[in-house]
């Protein structure tokens, strides 16, 4: 008999084909669907499970998801930060509860449909995550905050495939592919419309770094660091959002060069290998999901879990609240949250 695997299942094409691949390899698969929203329809999930002829269990995590992800998302925008709900959800909901169930039910392994690879890394003597081969889709960045003990039990069947291949093969099995899901699963509309349900917009001032007032803004959550479009300011040169200041309810704007940074600070770091272990390796830092990794000149521990990261080249608009992930080549070494003087602790309820 093959090893018993709990597979995180959404009913979408990625988890569907992941389950098919593992089933074909002889694993005993049990599908787990975490219901995260009250309005979530499980009909599609059940149809996908029936097509695979695999057992499915639906687990209601709506309260946990509201507390850990949605409340965090709203709180960060209220603080003038830019949240990363997918990275937090992977750590605190999806992989955390899947791993917990594996232990409670005495399963051997867990699996998800992320486009990333997991393999044994001889130098660190443990299983670690690598980038997926599909550079347009690969999702290792969103696993930077996941606790490393989970990787010993994790299977990532799609890491060696492209999205195009997965869709084509799933369709051949009878899967009804309806296109990509939305970027943020709990926000079907524009995110500012969602936030208005929780935060009353408070207009304030646009200021230059020297304090000069150049206009009025609609409310902090309409803006993010690096933003240029939609400011509604007429000025002698293009303006970009440099900083959000919730204490004064102001948005600091400036030139493009003002959002380019070669030094940033992190906290809430999560290492898949300790910094001492990868000392001497060339490090790369990635400050957003789609951004190009940049060589790290220096990674220095300061105090109170704060790291200073000095980069070999400037990066555009590293936003406080976002995740900075570290790599050695394709190997994911961990990551942390970009911070401004320690604001916004995402682990707090």
Burial 94-126 (b: 16+ CB within 10 A, else e): bbbbbbebbeeeebebbbbbbbbbbeebeebee
For 68, the token pair is 């850990």
CA–CA separation, 129 and 91 (whole Å): 14
Which residue is listed with tokens 């495939």?
161
CA–CA separation, 157 and 31 (whole Å): 14
Q: Of 89, 245, 308, 324, which one is the catalytic site residue?
A: 89
Q: How far is CA 281 from CA 276, 293, 309, in A?
A: 10, 15, 15
CA–CA separation, 189 and 157 (whole Å): 31
Is 308 marked active-site?
no
Is 245 marked active-site?
no
Q: Of 86, 185, 245, 308, which one is the catalytic site residue?
A: 185
Q: How far is CA 311 from CA 143, 248, 298, in A?
A: 22, 30, 7
For 20, the token pair is 């098919």
* Among candidate residues 195, 206, 136, 188, the one with its CA nearest the CA of residue 165: 136
Give DSSP secondary structure letters for 318-345: --TTSEEEEEETTEEEEEEEE-STT---
Annotated catalytic residues are 89, 185
């Amino acid at each position: 008999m093959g090893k018993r695997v709990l597979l995180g299942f959404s009913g979408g094409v990625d988890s569907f084909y992941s389950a098919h691949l593992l089933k074909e390899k002889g694993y005993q698969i049990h599908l787990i669907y975490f219901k995260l929203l009250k309005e979530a329809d499980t009909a599609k999930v059940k149809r996908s499970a029936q097509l695979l002829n695999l057992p499915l269990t639906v687990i209601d995590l709506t309260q946990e998801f509201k507390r850990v992800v949605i409340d965090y998302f709203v709180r960060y925008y209220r603080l003038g930060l830019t949240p990363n709900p997918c990275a937090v959800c992977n750590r605190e909901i999806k992989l955390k509860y899947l791993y917990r169930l594996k232990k409670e039910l005495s399963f051997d392994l867990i699996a998800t449909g992320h486009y990333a690879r997991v393999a044994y890394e001889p130098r660190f003597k443990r299983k670690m995550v690598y980038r997926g081969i599909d550079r347009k889709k690969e999702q290792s960045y969103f696993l930077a905050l996941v606790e490393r003990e989970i990787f010993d039990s994790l299977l990532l069947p799609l890491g060696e495939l492209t999205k195009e291949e997965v869709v084509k093969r799933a369709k051949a099995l009878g899967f009804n592919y309806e296109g990509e899901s939305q970027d943020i699963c709990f926000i079907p509309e524009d995110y500012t419309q969602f936030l208005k349900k929780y935060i009353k917009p408070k207009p304030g001032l646009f200021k230059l770094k020297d304090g000069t007032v150049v206009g009025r803004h609609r409310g902090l959550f309409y803006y993010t660091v690096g933003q240029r479009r939609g400011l509604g300011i007429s000025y002698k040169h293009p303006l970009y959002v440099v900083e959000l200041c919730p204490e004064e309810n102001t948005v600091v704007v400036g030139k493009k060069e003002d959002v380019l940074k070669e030094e940033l600070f992190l906290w809430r770091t999560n290492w898949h290998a300790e910094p001492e272990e990868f000392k001497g390796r060339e490090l790369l830092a990635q400050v957003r999901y789609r951004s190009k990794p940049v060589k790290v000149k220096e990674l220095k521990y300061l105090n109170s879990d704060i790291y200073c990261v000095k980069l070999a080249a400037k990066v555009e608009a590293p936003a406080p609240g976002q995740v900075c992930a570290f790599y050695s080549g394709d190997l994911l070494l961990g990551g942390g949250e970009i911070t401004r003087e320690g604001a916004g602790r995402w682990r707090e309820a």
